[in-house]
Amino acid sequence: MAGTLVTACSNPTGSLPECEAGPRLATIAQSVPTAAYVPCVERLAAGWTAGNLDAGRGSTRFALRPHRSGARTVKVAFEESCDARRATPAPPRAEGVRTSIRLESVSPRYAGTIFDVFPGGCVTYRFDFARGPHIALMEELGDTVGLFSRRQLRVSLQDQLGVELDG
């Protein structure tokens, strides 16, 4: 008999929502039950840490910290919708995803928001980096956060754990 997963958790110790089917990713998926994708951490680049995972009804938030001079914490938010107006289109990060970037500053700091918008959800990444290392940091950020298909998560949870995601 399939069980139902909890719908909220708060984990200030920094456990990562890794890109693999399991209870943590399922909890994040349930925070925005309409979303076609779920944000997750593919791999942390050398010198980066993650923390402050907070998944609740309607949103999930976590932080990514690059430990380089002039780099500030990247704030990642997963919600049902976001306002990506005035953002410039960028190459999509997954099929069916509209990726864009809105820059707030290019000098003396490179700061702004990246948007991944998809059916039923949106992930925002608020960044603020010193000029110079910002190019490598932006590339590392793009490699760090992945988008896990909700459909794939649903099937994997049922097959591996006998758990229904949206049951």
- Residue 152: which of 5, 22, 11 has the closest Cα? 22
CB 83 within 8 A of CB 69: no
What's the domain range around 149?
3-164
Beta bridge partners of 130: 109
* Residue 31, domain CATH: 3.40.1000
* DSSP code at position 18: B
Identify the H or E element spanning 143. Answer: helix 134-144
pLDDT tens by residue, the chain, 167 residues: 333 333 333 333 347 788 999 888 999 999 999 999 999 999 888 889 988 889 889 999 999 999 887 789 999 999 999 999 999 999 999 999 999 999 999 999 999 999 999 999 999 999 999 988 899 999 999 999 999 999 999 999 888 878 787 75
Sequence letter at residue 109: R
pTM (two decimals): 0.87
The total domain count for the chain is: 1
